[in-house]
A and B are shown apart, each in its own frame.
Chain A
């Protein structure tokens, strides 16, 4: 074997070692396993309902009892949520992986205004009710069964992810002139030290009432 061949093989070995080390290092970092929304699902402009979509007449307020999102296999009961210290929305109890919550001092889903629904992406044991929220697409349907027997059907307008230090309160929580819905779960990056770095938020508006 001549020395150029030897040398090139040495280089190959070195490169392979480097790549391997990088892969090990990268793979060992704990990361968000839940799907995250792509930029294609973000608002193109503004933050309202997509143009050309249907709008249904808002319903009278009535508490939600169940949420179904056929696209990602969600079918869960709902509980009321309040505000924690600092005015942030409480999360539903994390023990039950199949439970979503809604902000009960605010607008009920289907009524005029902005209804806020939150669910866990995971708990200590594994994935929870909104694990796949980040994989929702524009146009996905969200159905909310209500106490008055009606079902409010929403269409997703956008799915975005925000860093928690840069959370757009106005965009997410401010009331709208139509019946809107916000679905919130944890997302963004994850570190062992600080947990999830942000939230995934799905925006939807009422398109149909059954």
Chain B
């Protein structure tokens, strides 16, 4: 007649194993969820987020975020800076055409070949800046300056400033970009209520397990 006892032992062991798994599982879960996030966030923004760290070596990664976000504009600046005057009148209308051409090669109305070549020679940086940028919509609008301004571009809402001011540092001197680091976590805290409830449940379970074990032992001797 040992089978009942054994069965109970089996279930108790199963429960314990399950509990142990439960212990391990959430943390594994948390890791798999949490880590990549942190990793992903790290290059971009860990820097700007917590103020404590903002001033260390993170300025660079901040910059890179800025570049990624405001991409096109920044990419354009260095190569353009020396020859803005020459390029702008020439390229003013072109980048738009080229972009359209890129989107829809068949629909090119004008012989844009020479222009494209010009661009790739003279304005290689220009192209590089404009193409990979995320906000290509804004870039062509603001960059060529005078020409497309009446058009769509929302970034041109500060029209007087950007064209003259371009060569300075930021994408658009009159508009911030990216997130704002406005918290250090002093109000973030563990959930004490949940902690207490959990601890209580674990305690109850422990007592229950002890009682069961004792009963089982008693049962074992009896049978």
Contact = CB atoms under 8 A, between A and B. Distances in A.
A87 B178 contact: yes
Contacts of A123: 183-184, 186
A21 B157 CA distance: 55
B194 interface: yes
Interface string B163-207: 000000111111111111111111111111111111111111110
A67 B12 CA distance: 61
B49 A169 contact: no
Contact of A122 (B30, B138, B185): B185
Contacts of A10: 8, 11-12, 15, 212
A173 B37 CA distance: 26
B154 A17 contact: no
A17 B205 contact: yes
Interface residues of B, number: 88
Contacts of A2: 4
B89 interface: no
B17 to A, nearest CB: 9
The B interface is mostly helix, strand or loop, or mixed, namely helix
Interface in A187-202: 187, 190-199
B201 A94 contact: no
Interface of B: 4, 7-8, 11-12, 14-16, 18-19, 22-23, 26-27, 30, 34, 37-38, 40-42, 44-46, 48-51, 54, 59, 62-67, 69-70, 135, 138, 154-155, 157-158, 169-206, 208-209, 212, 215-216, 219
A145 to B, nearest CB: 21
Contacts of A63: none
Contacts of B173: 83, 105
Closest 9 A/B residue pairs (Cβ): A14-B15, A23-B198, A20-B201, A27-B194, A186-B183, A86-B66, A24-B198, A20-B202, A175-B157
